[in-house]
Amino acid sequence: MRCCFWRRRWPDGKIMHESTYQGKWKRWQKRVGVTLTAHQLRHGYATMLFEAGISERDAMDLLGHADINLTRNIYTHIRKSRKEETAVILNQAAEKF
């Protein structure tokens, strides 16, 4: 069974075949000169959303999730790690006083 990630659609709503999507992705990679996988690009996008302070609900919509719990379960670790980094920075600043 394939991951739902491969269920990309054409503008008319029809499902794009996996090999078609992979071919388009490889051509795009070559054209723009990146080696990122689509998965890496998606996670990078999600990271930027959360680090920019975008709400979970808005991120859910932008990422195309049907359930906010999916967004929370996959991406909230990003916010937790950011909070930990912030705590370290604040502790370092407090030590200077």
Spatial distance between the Cα atoms of 87 and 9, rounded to a whole number of angstroms:
42
Per-residue pLDDT tens for 28-69?
A: 999 999 888 888 888 888 888 888 889 999 999 999 889 999
Residue 79 lies in a domain: yes
* Verdict on whether the full-model pTM lies above 0.75: no
Look at residue 6 in the predicted model and tell me its pLDDT: 45
Residue 18 lies in a domain: no
- The structural domain count of the chain equals 1
Range of the domain at 87: 29-95
Instruction: Report which of 61, 96, 59, 93 is spatially closest to residue 76, judged by C-alpha positions.
Output: 59
Crossing angle for the helix pair 68-95 and 56-63, to the nearest 10 degrees: 130
pLDDT higher than threshold 50 for residue 14: yes
pLDDT cut 70: percent of the chain above it: 91
